[in-house]
Every structure is written in C-alpha cells, then in structure tokens.
Structure 1
C-alpha cells in the first residue's frame, strides 16, 4: 500500500511514484522516457516535432524496453494564417545579425514548424494505445479527443490559470497540470495571450485544487524534494518536472544548452516569444537581451524560429532557445532513473517526517 498522502494520480495512471517526467520536444529521448517509466514514474514522449513515422518508431522503442504506463504529449494549437509582411518585418529586424555573422540574408527563410495533433497522429495512438495522452495549449477538437478517449487513454492537459483548469475539466480531462509561471518551455496558456495574467505555482496550485474535482499535477519551479513535498501540501496529487531531467545523460541538448544550464543563475531565465512566436521560458542569451525577450514583430507560433535558423547555425549559444525553468540551479547530475527514485524517496521522507 502506498505511503503517499494522495494516491489519486497513482491509481488513475497506474504508476508507482507521483513524478511525471515532463515532455520536452527536442530534448526528451526514448531513453529518458523508458528510464522514468521503469523507475516507477511516468515517462512522457513529446510528439510535436515528430512525424507520424518518427513517433511510431519512438513508441516501438519505448514498448520494447518498458511494460509500464507512459504518456504521449501533443500540441493542439491552430496553425497561423500566412502573414508575409510580418515575416519580412521580422527578418529585417534580424538583418544586422545576418550581416555580422555572414549568413545569407537573401536566401529563402527556412520553415520552423511544430505540428498540431491531427488524425494521422491519432492513428498512431490507436495503434499503440498508450495509458496516458497529454496536450498543450488546450485540447484538440472533440472528434479527435473522442477517438483518443476511445483507446482507453487518460487525458491530461496544462492550465496556467484557474479559468483554464475549469475549462479543461469541463471538456474531459482526467487530471490537470497546474503550470506555474516559473516553468520552463512553452506556456500552456490557451484562453488568453495576456502574460500579465499568468500565476506562480504556489498561488496557482491550491486555487486549481479548489476549483476542480479531478486530480491536480503541479508543474513549474519544482526541482527537488522540498518542492515536491510543498506541492503535495498545496493539494497536488503529483508533480511534473522538466528542467530537472535536462541534467540527465538521457537528455538530448546542445553543447550550448548544456553549458547554460550549468552556469546560469536563478535570475537568468525569462519568458520569450522570439524563438517560436509563443511565450516560453528559457535562459537569457544575446538575442533576448538585445531585441527584448518579447517582441511584437515575431511571427505567430510556430513560425518565428525560421528566420533565426541561419543565425543559430552560426552562433548556437546566442540565437537558439535554451529552455529552462526558474529552478534550474537545483539541477543535479543523475541518470533519469536515479533522479526519479531519489526525488520520490526524499519527498516521501519529508511528507512522512521520517
């Protein structure tokens, strides 16, 4: 019998430890997912940057090496309408960097894309029938969501406000990820684009717990056992950790990102729209400092990154996204399995006063 004070997520998802490894597109590998699952937590495979065939291969690998429940995560944004003027204005803003770095300004702008959940992705889910499917930026259209539910998967999604949490419960979520403003990566906001409305984890979690009847998963600024124990005290049934797993050897991060994670100070992250067109928290670098972390010339998500690609190829540290949350200085060098089990054991000891 579990000693955790709240076992609703454990029971709902069929896992042993109330720790969810956050899905981080580009950084999460199948090895990370497998390790988190086999350690007793919930591994999460991000699908937003994978084709259907790539996703199928990743899930085959996970299934081959773990019999535990796992999560597959999708974005469900609306693709933007083309806006050639905005694209030109954005590239023109970046032209001085092209000249400085010797990048070809007149070459066609590369396409930066993150695909929303669609019927082809749903077919992969129907084939593999993962225990958990999570979404970012709300939920997909009802017909697709009904197909996912028909596979038996439990549905999770991120809320950044109480209003979003209530909406998610009303539209069929089995549990809600309360994503505080401290979290790294893309904000899950979907009912508003007003960053001033975003709430910190310690304020958000108990209010979401009070507003919904489904279990709540705390995310954002949680990097050690103290944060996990605090989340439980606030009413959460589990936590989702992203940045902590970027320090594991299973993470796929660039050399620049690896260095930044280990040298940045706690105050050196900011929410920015420069790299994708949608607010996301990362470590501050040159382009964020010089044109501002939020710039209204950045094209709509996910198009902003295209014009930065040639610059990133010349200078990765200063022109690529270095996603990280505000608790990055709590990161420790452990394998994904060791991290999952150690954090759980230390948090449980705090909660049971052992």
Structure 2
C-alpha cells in the first residue's frame, strides 16, 4: 500500500489527527482516533528512537487499525551561535525567575533521524510523514519498497514540487493558520509573515503537482473539512481540535488555555524554538518574541528547562501554548466522539451543497 489516492484504505473518514510533538500525540490518542474511523498519528519529534519504537508497540497493542508516524528532518548547520548566545543572555532572568537554568543549545540538530528511519524500515508502519524538509529519493524509495505511504509537509507550491520530484506519495499542505511549527523546508527569516492561507495554498499546490493532499491549518469543524475536500484535498488534518481531548497528552494548563478568554489570539513566534510556530499570545511571547533569532533547534533546547519549570509551577505565561487560529472552537469531547462529530458535520455540509 503506497498511495493515498484511496484514503479509505487507511481510514473510514477523511480525518487525520495531526502529529503534535512534545507529548500531546501519544498512543492513547492515536488509538482512539484510528479506532473511531480516523487516522491517528504518533509524533516522533523530540523523542529518542527507542521511545518512538516503544510508542509504536503500545499503539499496535491498542489498535489493529492503520496509523502514521511523523519524523522531523535533520536541520542544516546554519545557525549563528553568537545570536543564540545574545538571546540566552536575555533569557537569564526567565531562568532565574523559574528557579532553573537554561538548556544547552548544542544538544543536537538531527533528532536521531537516521536511527528512526532504520527502525521504520525494519518494522514498517502504514504511513510516515516528514516535517521541516523532504527526504532524498533513496529514503522515499526504501519506504515505498517497505509498503509505507510517505507524506511530506509543504507550505508552498515550490516545496510541493520538490516533494513530488523526490518521490513522495502524498503531501500535507499546511496553511499559515496551523498551530505549532510551520513545516517550511528552509527557515528564512526574511519570509516571516508571508505564509499562505490554507485554501489559497491548496489551489496553488493542486495546480502545480499531481499528488494527493492532506489539508492542515486551523480546521476545527466538519464544515471546514468539507470545504477543503471540495477545494481538492483528499483528507483533513486537525491538531488543535484534538488537544483538549482527554486522551491527549497535552497538559491541563495547555488545554484550559485554549478556550480561556485571557488568550484572545495566536501569533507566529520564534520565542520558544527559534523557528516560526503558532501559539497563544502570552507574556513570554510578548516579551521575547521580537528578539528571538532564527536558531532551530538550538533555541528549542535553550528554552526547554524554562518551559518545563513554568509548567511545573502552573504558570502558562511561560509555556509554549501551541494552538491554531481556530483554538476558541475547541470542544471537550473524547477523541472517538470528536471524530464521529466531525464526520457527521462533514456529511451534513456536503449534503447541503448537493
């Protein structure tokens, strides 16, 4: 099985639970989504290769339905260490306030990519997606030989063309409305703020390449799923919508913040990781976002102890509260009930248009 043209081979509904690195996506959530007729995803980012393998084992024990695993691509060594050092000086007060130390920015930039690929080729899963770049043809061909469908996250038509040329089976087309990190293949600070909205991006990508698309970016309702399907997508990926589910591994602070009127809007910021990522506008973003350098994953490693300390103290103002633009539409449903609700809303919207 190596094509996404017939999504029913993977799930009853065209609903994908987006992989959310950092703990939100876990085997329990993915199993609940896949079991309800959607396609659950594990997020391997920020995990060791063994931790990824153990989560895959847990998920297989919990469901016999198809699922996916998301990998972060290794990042080029283009970060200016002096810029990261200056940012560290600015954050010294944050570390002191939360009673911790800043992290080591040179912890690593490849996210154990090669080891994770080796495990997934030796013990294949139905689907593997890639973020922050596109694998070379040899890797994608190896997954095709293993029977794994490959999906590359893209944010522009040019990235979609590169993924098609490399041999990807499908694309995750990510609009600027999406919560969490923008999955751009190259992090260029000069392009900050120039991201495309999802519907415009779907149309441009559809006219540029022949690959099936999973649409992602601010989707929270079945009517929106129907809209992106009508625009040419084969499925819709939702992340923020699943964050508040009881099966999600997101912290209680994060879940409450999504619908808390204190957090009126989201913003793309480099404050926590050095890469543009959409989250709720809190004190940390307001005070540090404008000064954060382009430095991923160095800034991520630098701020990690501060974020953990803030969470431990129950202070969401110092946490990375990733969220898409539709976060206020979050519903506290079980993952299975949410999948069924979204599917019913999607069908009703499509019938109304017929």
**TM-score, L = length of structure 1:** 0.89
- Structure 1 residues 116 and 208, CA, compared in 2 at 3 Å: closer, same or farther? same
Counterparts of 1:222 and 1:126, CA distance in 2: 32
**Does 2:120 correspond to 1:125?**
yes
Give secondary structure in 2 for the equivalent of 1:352.
helix
Counterparts of 1:111 and 1:245, CA distance in 2: 32
- Structure 1 residues 35 and 103, CA, compared in 2 at 3 Å: closer, same or farther? closer
What aligned pairs does 1:193-212 form with structure 2 within 5 A after superposition? 193=188, 194-212=191-209
Q: Of 301, 305, 317, which residue of structure 1 is paired with 2:300?
A: 305
Deviation at 1:307, TM superposition (A): 3.3
**Structure 1 runs not aligned, ≥5 long:** 1-6
Q: Which residue of 2 aligns with 1:152?
A: 147
**Does 2:174 correspond to 1:179?**
yes
Deviation at 1:138, TM superposition (A): 2.0
Q: Which runs of 4+ in 1 moved over 6 A?
A: none
Deviation at 1:140, TM superposition (A): 2.2
Counterparts of 2:154 and 2:290, CA distance in 1: 21
**TM-score, L = length of structure 2:** 0.89
Deviation at 1:263, TM superposition (A): 0.6
Contact 2:49 2:112 (C-alpha < 8 Å) held by counterparts = no
- How big is each residue's C-alpha offset from its partner over 1:161-219, in whole Å with a ceiling of 9 and x where there is no partner? 11111221121121111111000011011146212331011211122122221211111
Q: Which residue of 2 aligns with 1:94?
A: 91
State the Cα RMSD in Å: 2.4
Contact 1:312 1:318 (C-alpha < 8 Å) held by counterparts = no
Counterparts of 1:54 and 1:166, CA distance in 2: 33
- How big is each residue's C-alpha offset from its partner over 1:296-342, in whole Å with a ceiling of 9 and x where there is no partner? x4361111133324433443312221110001111111111111121
Say how many residue pairs are matched: 343
Contact 1:183 1:221 (C-alpha < 8 Å) held by counterparts = yes
Counterparts of 2:176 and 2:72, CA distance in 1: 19
**Does 2:330 correspond to 1:325?**
no
Deviation at 1:113, TM superposition (A): 5.8
